[in-house]
DNA sequence: TTGACAAAGTGTAAAAATGACACTAAATAC
DNA sequence: GTATTTAGTGTCATTTTTACACTTTGTCAA
């Protein structure tokens, strides 16, 4: 089967930068390439856009196929269109970034037949194509998003402690934060619901568990509220 | 001549949302469509991406061809990939927004043979395809950019007064700003160079002219400075 | 059982940033 | 020379941000 057009067409792909948080460290999901070019090197999961799916659906499908991930938070990052970014032919790629809660998703990705692994996002191995550039941009974007929108919760389990939340911010933004000021600010937003449960983890006082209240956030946003950490 | 591929390929275009400032009002450049679909309606300038040009080069070329614009500030906005956004076939479009100084560029665009005109960005005519959605997103992005990065100068002549700058912010952000506080803050950044010249405009005290110092901005950015208005 | 340990949790005061506010200065036109 | 119009300037109250140290509550081991 072949497809013919009156004018040449550039090929269109999507790539996904999937972030996860593992023990306070930000990780990125990479796939080992099985074919040339860059055979054996690590790359972002991705692939061609089908004719009847949206861009976001294409990324979601690729993440499912290549890493067994589904239902993750996805947002468009940037479209990369350098002429020689793929050595074979002209390929333009729409990059998305994804945030997953590693606790829920780690198993399937780690045990998938295709070699998919989590690497420290700040020190990835050598990457195929222009994927290092894509990753760098995704990291910058994540930092920005984290500051100005409450997306960090996507990286945490549904129930989390304030310490976990703070560590997430410290780890992604790369700056230490004051415990009291952090808690004061975060709780002041009125976006976290304290649960009845506590989290026990070692020989010390257990921590209060919270969950994020997305409905409340939508409501506040309507009222002109502007999240900023 | 025809081009054949093993798999179907979606078509890839670029669109440009060109903003200009006219007498304190934000305008957007639109092109009247000469062919179906949406013949006679207004649309964003744009067109197909050639095989040997980057996305940004494609927008720049289209803006030159369709509106006689060149050398404008361009930044990628978003890539629109809804399956039915074009009634003819599947077309994915990478949208850019552009900022131009109308004083320099207005003539050519207004007198071009193809019908290209400036419309109030906040009250555009009915637009072809999903271009209303693209314009809306561009406006949101412009507001965000204006707040957090000094891009507003792209919309003004090289030499401008603080009143012009303030009116630009008020007009785009849609809020009145206090004259003294605005000047205090803007001048405090140390990014504006006062010129020897003044601007005479009517029977009143003439205004000091300034120009933006991009080199200084780059230097401050290195040092961790963060523009915010 | 009790004492050592470890992380959770909590308030205040100084400093900085923001926001509100009204008059004088300099040019033109009549 | 006087009326008109926009440019240009400083202070104080309020809010926000930052710096900082001790008590609580659980586990574990002696």
In order, the DSSP letters of B96-128 are: EEEEE-HHHHHHHHHH-SS-EEEEETTS---BS
* pLDDT over threshold 50, residue B91: yes
**Out of B8, B10, B52, closest to residue A83 by CB:** B52
How high is the mean pLDDT of chain B? 94
Alpha-carbon distance of B2 to B7, in angstroms, equals 15
The residue that minimises its CA distance to C1' of D28 is: A203
Total beta-carbon pairs less than 8 A apart between chain A and chain B: 85
* pLDDT over threshold 50, residue B65: yes
Residue B178 confidence (pLDDT): 98
Distance B188 CA to C16 C1' (A): 15
Q: Which of A1, A8, A82, A93 would you mutate first to test chain B, the one with the most B CBs within 10 A?
A: A8
Residue B23 confidence (pLDDT): 83
Residue A134 confidence (pLDDT): 98
* pLDDT over threshold 90, residue B1: no
Nearest CA in chain A to B9: A11
How much is the average pLDDT of B190-217? 95
Distance between A225 CA and the closest CA of chain B, angstroms: 15
Residue A111 confidence (pLDDT): 47
B143-191 per-position pLDDT tens digit: 999 999 999 999 999 999 999 999 999 999 999 999 999 999 999 999 9
- The parts of chain A modelled with pLDDT lower than 70 are 106-114
Residue B106 confidence (pLDDT): 62
Question: In the structure, what pLDDT confidence band is assigned to residue B223 with cuts at 50, 70 and 90?
Answer: confident
Asked if the Cβ of residue A202 lies within 7 A of any atom of strand D, the reply is yes
Distance A197 CA to C1 C1' (A): 29
Residue A108 confidence (pLDDT): 59
**Out of B2, B53, B82, closest to residue A6 by CB:** B2
Residue A79 confidence (pLDDT): 99
For chain B, which domains are there? Answer: 11-148 (3.90.79.10), 156-222 (1.10.10.10)
Which residues on chain B place their C-beta less than 8 Å from a C-beta of chain A? 1-12, 48-49, 51-56, 76, 78-79, 81-83, 90, 92, 94
Residue A47 confidence (pLDDT): 97
Asked if the Cβ of residue A115 lies within 7 A of any atom of strand D, the reply is no
Distance B35 CA to C8 C1' (A): 68
* pLDDT over threshold 80, residue B70: yes
* pLDDT over threshold 80, residue B98: yes
Closest nucleotide relative to residue B203's CA, C1' based: C28
């Amino acid at each position: 089967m072949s497809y013919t057009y009156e004018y040449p067409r550039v090929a269109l792909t999507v790539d996904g930068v999937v972030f996860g948080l593992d023990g306070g460290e930000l990780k990125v999901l990479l796939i080992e390439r099985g074919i040339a070019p860059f055979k054996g090197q690590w790359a972002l999961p991705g692939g061609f856009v089908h004719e009847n799916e949206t861009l976001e659906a294409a990324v979601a499908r690729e993440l499912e196929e290549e890493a067994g991930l589904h239902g993750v938070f996805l947002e468009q990052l940037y479209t990369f269109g350098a002429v020689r970014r793929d050595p074979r032919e002209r390929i333009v790629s729409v990059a998305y970034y994804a945030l997953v809660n590693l606790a829920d998703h780690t198993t399937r990705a780690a045990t998938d037949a295709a070699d998919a692994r989590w690497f420290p996002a700040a020190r990835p191995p050598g990457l195929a194509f222009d994927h290092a550039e894509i990753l760098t941009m995704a990291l910058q974007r994540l930092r920005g998003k984290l500051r100005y929108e409450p997306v960090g919760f996507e990286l945490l389990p549904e129930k989390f402690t304030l310490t976990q939340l703070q560590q997430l911010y410290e780890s992604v933004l790369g700056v230490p934060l004051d415990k009291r000021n952090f808690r004061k600010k975060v709780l002041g937003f009125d976006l976290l619901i304290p649960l009845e449960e506590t989290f026990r983890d070692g020989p010390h006082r257990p921590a209060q568990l919270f969950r994020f209240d997305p409905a409340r956030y939508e409501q506040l946003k309507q009222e002109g509220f502007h999240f900023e950490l």
